[in-house]
A and B are shown apart, each in its own frame.
Chain A
Amino acid sequence: MCQDPVTLVSKDNKEYEVSRSAAMVSPTLKAMIEGSFEENKGRIELKQFDSHILEKVVEYLNYNFKYGGTNVEEDDEEDEIPEFDIPTEMSLELLLAADYLSI
């Protein structure tokens, strides 16, 4: 399978790159990437979200990919997972985005 990074495009046409495996964290993005649509070329337009929201989403995708996988060993030394910071004023909009992406 193609391992190129995926590009997410926000409302104001800002582009954010995220690795394919991190994007797979979201079932919605996964379906888009694996489907037989335009999106499987690696460019996904999420025009309903502002760039600052999308930036946070990408941050979360990477965060979840890094710490959330089942590949983390039981007795891993790095057991402490840093907290994911969400600015208060962003929380409601981010909730909508998270809802859409099922993450």
Chain B
Amino acid sequence: MYRSRNRPKRGGENEVKGPNSALTQFLREEGISAENIKQKWYQRQSKKQEDATDEKKGKAEDDSFTAEISRVVEDEEIDEIGTGSGTETERAQVSYDARMKLVPADSDEEEYETSHISDTPVSLSSANDRESLTKKRQSTAKIIQNRRRKRKRAADLLDRRVNKVSSLQSLCITKISENISKWQKEADESSKLVFNKLRDVLGGVSTANLNNLAKALSKNRALNDHTLQLFLKTDLKRLTFSDCSKISFDGYKRLAIFSPHLTELSLQMCGQLNHESLLYIAEKLPNLKSLNLDGPFLINEDTWEKFFVIMKGRLEEFHISNTHRFTDKSLSNLLINCGSTLVSLGLSRLDSISNYALLPQYLVNDEFHSLCIEYPFNEEDVNDEIIINLLGQIGRTLRKLVLNGCIDLTDSMIINGLTAFIPEKCPLEVLSLEESDQITTDSLSYFFSKVELNNLIECSFRRCLQLGDMAIIELLLNGARDSLRSLNLNSLKELTKEAFVALACPNLTYLDLGFVRCVDDSVIQMLGEQNPNLTVIDVFGDNLVTEKATMRPGLTLIGRQSDSI
């Protein structure tokens, strides 16, 4: 669909249907074909032989003759060398070189100059031809430019760069991180004095921007022991590093020493974090109460035990993911030492944990607010019973519940857990039950009709394959309609257009409708009109959404088939 739109319609004998490279098109438009080239070569050979016989004629006459048969200067010079002496093969070789040079030197003016004297049938001799050639060239250039532009737009869409102009803040941060490597070199030379200076300058940057800088550095994979020094500020309280893969154990130690006020620390991909540095973090950061670690696979059971003993009484939030060395024993150490103070717990992709049944026993804090259990190694380890018990303990205060990839959960958890233990006026802000393919429409409809979710901001039912219209309609009849900002309905293949009639949320900004096959242009138009703040809809795999979809200004579709190359 997209390709045919861009290509001008031409009914020629060479018109071949199917994908077509820019080069093929260029060659065709220029009239270059194998047969043509062969003809030209024969012609030139015969002219050359004539030339050789007439060589003894006067110089002036000779010059004019050469000009007549040759189209470019290079050709002329080489002809003079090539004629007279030399074998047949040599001549052929020279002529080949000449031809190779001929192609790039083939400018319009030269054609024009030679056109009135040259009478070779293959050369483009009339002004008309020249004009059409120029036109064709222009159209080719335009097509190529158009393609480039389309490709750029498609790439931007995939990067979710909705705004064409980035903010001045992000421009500045990009500039700063671009220069990091340069500063780094200078720092090496002048024994890191530059970094000290730099830190003074950065001293005034707000914490939010320092975290933005961390993000920019992580994104550029530029966060290492050197750039880490930018963050060794004394008054920084919260710090998130999204990519720590290049920070050595020494770097973590320095971070712990020079940022003693840290209360919340998030280290993603912290593969180099070892025994010593983890204990440093626990000992040197007296105010630390929230730790989020992804991939700390060097740390073993013993170290975890020591760590939790040190953190006893002050660890309030602990999230861990992607390590096989965090075992059932480590979990019980965590719960025994810190269970009573924990208000937020996250366990994701921990392949050595099976005893999730421990959790209800220890998570007893009255203010517990966030629970994330994701992708257990054995699906049956996280079953209805455990979650129901847990919700009985903490459901009253829960603000965030994420149970992604716990595919053993069934309707029983929704009815006997969520509906039973979450209060009617519930504080829940985030609810995510991704990939729970045993949960049905009935149970969720029941839940949404019983519990008022007035605070729900983010909701995801991605790949809960059994969910149908009623579950979504019931959610939207609930108080959640006014508070929802992000809704993920990816892969809910049972949904029909009816579900979207009710989807009118004043605060909704993001909606994922990927692989919801019933979504078409009319649904997109309706959603745009009904949801004034909606800025992004994901429509990957929705083949009924075409380039004709009418969109409100400010709304962007991502993943539309017609947008990609």
Which residues does A use to contact B, with CB under 8 Å?
57, 60, 63-64, 67-68, 70, 72, 79-81, 84, 86, 88, 91-92, 94-99, 101, 103
Whether A92 pairs with B201 at a CB distance below 8 angstroms is yes
Q: Which chain B residues numbered 155 to 208 have a C-beta less than 8 Å away from chain A?
A: 163-165, 167-169, 171-173, 175-176, 179, 201-202, 204-206, 208
* From A63, A72, A80, A98, contact of B172 by CB (8 A): A98
Q: Hey, which chain A residues are within 8 Å of B179, CB to CB?
A: 88, 91
Whether A99 pairs with B175 at a CB distance below 8 angstroms is no
Q: Hey, which chain B residues are within 8 Å of A72, CB to CB?
A: 164
- Is B49 among interface residues, defined by CB-CB distance under 8 A? no
Instruction: Report if A57-B164 is in contact (Cβ < 8 Å); known contacts: A91-B175, A95-B176.
Output: no
Q: Hey, which chain B residues are within 8 Å of A70, CB to CB?
A: 553-554
B431 CB → nearest A CB, Å: 31
Query: Considering residues A80, A84, A92, A103, which has the most beta carbons from chain B within 10 angstroms of its beta carbon?
Result: A92
Q: Hey, which chain B residues are within 8 Å of A97, CB to CB?
A: 168
Q: Kindly report which residue of chain B lies nearest to residue A66, judged by CB atoms.
A: B165
Instruction: Report if A98-B164 is in contact (Cβ < 8 Å); known contacts: A79-B149, A92-B176, A92-B205.
Output: no
* From B168, B173, B176, contact of A57 by CB (8 A): B168
Complex Cα–Cα for A63 and B164 (A)? 11
Whether A103 pairs with B169 at a CB distance below 8 angstroms is yes
Whether A95 pairs with B165 at a CB distance below 8 angstroms is no
Whether B206 pairs with A81 at a CB distance below 8 angstroms is no
Complex Cα–Cα for A88 and B176 (A)? 7
Complex Cα–Cα for A92 and B168 (A)? 11
Complex Cα–Cα for A55 and B169 (A)? 16
Complex Cα–Cα for A75 and B58 (A)? 62
Q: Hey, which chain B residues are within 8 Å of A92, CB to CB?
A: 172, 176, 201-202, 205
Q: Hey, which chain A residues are within 8 Å of B204, CB to CB?
A: 96
Complex Cα–Cα for A70 and B163 (A)? 9
4 smallest CB-CB distances across A and B, nearest first, come from A68-B165, A98-B168, A95-B172, A91-B175
Q: Kindly report which residue of chain B lies nearest to residue A68, judged by CB atoms.
A: B165
Please give 4 more A-B residue pairs, beta carbons under 8 A apart, in addition to A64-B165, A96-B206, A99-B206: A70-B553, A72-B164, A92-B172, A98-B167
Whether B169 pairs with A98 at a CB distance below 8 angstroms is yes
Complex Cα–Cα for A57 and B204 (A)? 18
Q: Hey, which chain A residues are within 8 Å of B176, CB to CB?
A: 91-92, 95
- Is B209 among interface residues, defined by CB-CB distance under 8 A? yes
Q: Which chain B residues numbered 201 to 219 have a C-beta less than 8 Å away from chain A?
A: 201-202, 204-206, 208-209
A48 CB → nearest B CB, Å: 10
B409 CB → nearest A CB, Å: 42
Query: Considering residues B152, B164, B179, B554, which has the most beta carbons from chain A within 10 angstroms of its beta carbon?
Result: B164
B248 CB → nearest A CB, Å: 27
Q: Kindly report which residue of chain A lies nearest to residue B547, judged by CB atoms.
A: A74
Q: Hey, which chain B residues are within 8 Å of A98, CB to CB?
A: 167-169, 171-172
Q: Hey, which chain B residues are within 8 Å of A67, CB to CB?
A: 164-165
Query: Considering residues A60, A80, A94, A95, which has the most beta carbons from chain B within 10 angstroms of its beta carbon?
Result: A95
A56 CB → nearest B CB, Å: 9
* From B164, B169, B201, B202, contact of A99 by CB (8 A): B169
Whether B168 pairs with A103 at a CB distance below 8 angstroms is yes
A3 CB → nearest B CB, Å: 22
Complex Cα–Cα for A64 and B175 (A)? 18
Complex Cα–Cα for A86 and B164 (A)? 18
Q: Hey, which chain A residues are within 8 Å of B173, CB to CB?
A: 95
Q: Hey, which chain B residues are within 8 Å of A57, CB to CB?
A: 168
A85 CB → nearest B CB, Å: 9
Complex Cα–Cα for A99 and B168 (A)? 9
* From B164, B205, B209, B554, contact of A68 by CB (8 A): B164
Q: Hey, which chain B residues are within 8 Å of A99, CB to CB?
A: 169, 205-206, 208-209
Whether B163 pairs with A68 at a CB distance below 8 angstroms is yes
The 15 sampled A-B contact pairs (Cβ below 8 Å) are: A57-B168, A68-B165, A79-B152, A79-B153, A86-B171, A86-B172, A86-B175, A88-B175, A95-B169, A97-B168, A98-B167, A98-B169, A99-B205, A103-B167, A103-B169
Whether B171 pairs with A84 at a CB distance below 8 angstroms is yes
Q: Hey, which chain A residues are within 8 Å of B171, CB to CB?
A: 84, 86, 98
Q: Hey, which chain B residues are within 8 Å of A79, CB to CB?
A: 149, 152-153
Complex Cα–Cα for A68 and B165 (A)? 5
Complex Cα–Cα for A1 and B371 (A)? 50
Q: Hey, which chain A residues are within 8 Å of B205, CB to CB?
A: 92, 95-96, 99
Instruction: Report if A95-B164 is in contact (Cβ < 8 Å); known contacts: A70-B553, A79-B149.
Output: no
Complex Cα–Cα for A68 and B169 (A)? 15
Instruction: Report if A94-B165 is in contact (Cβ < 8 Å); known contacts: A70-B554, A88-B179.
Output: no
Q: Hey, which chain A residues are within 8 Å of B201, CB to CB?
A: 92
Q: Hey, which chain B residues are within 8 Å of A94, CB to CB?
A: 168, 172
Q: Which chain B residues numbered 351 to 409 have a C-beta less than 8 Å away from chain A?
A: none
* From B153, B165, B554, contact of A63 by CB (8 A): B165
Q: Hey, which chain A residues are within 8 Å of B208, CB to CB?
A: 99
Complex Cα–Cα for A101 and B152 (A)? 30
Complex Cα–Cα for A8 and B430 (A)? 43
Q: Hey, which chain A residues are within 8 Å of B554, CB to CB?
A: 70
Q: Kindly report which residue of chain A lies nearest to residue B551, judged by CB atoms.
A: A74
Whether A91 pairs with B172 at a CB distance below 8 angstroms is yes
Q: Which chain B residues numbered 140 to 156 have a C-beta less than 8 Å away from chain A?
A: 149, 152-153
Q: Hey, which chain B residues are within 8 Å of A60, CB to CB?
A: 168
Q: Hey, which chain A residues are within 8 Å of B149, CB to CB?
A: 79-80
Q: Hey, which chain B residues are within 8 Å of A86, CB to CB?
A: 171-172, 175
B198 CB → nearest A CB, Å: 8
B506 CB → nearest A CB, Å: 20
Q: Hey, which chain B residues are within 8 Å of A95, CB to CB?
A: 169, 172-173, 176, 205, 209
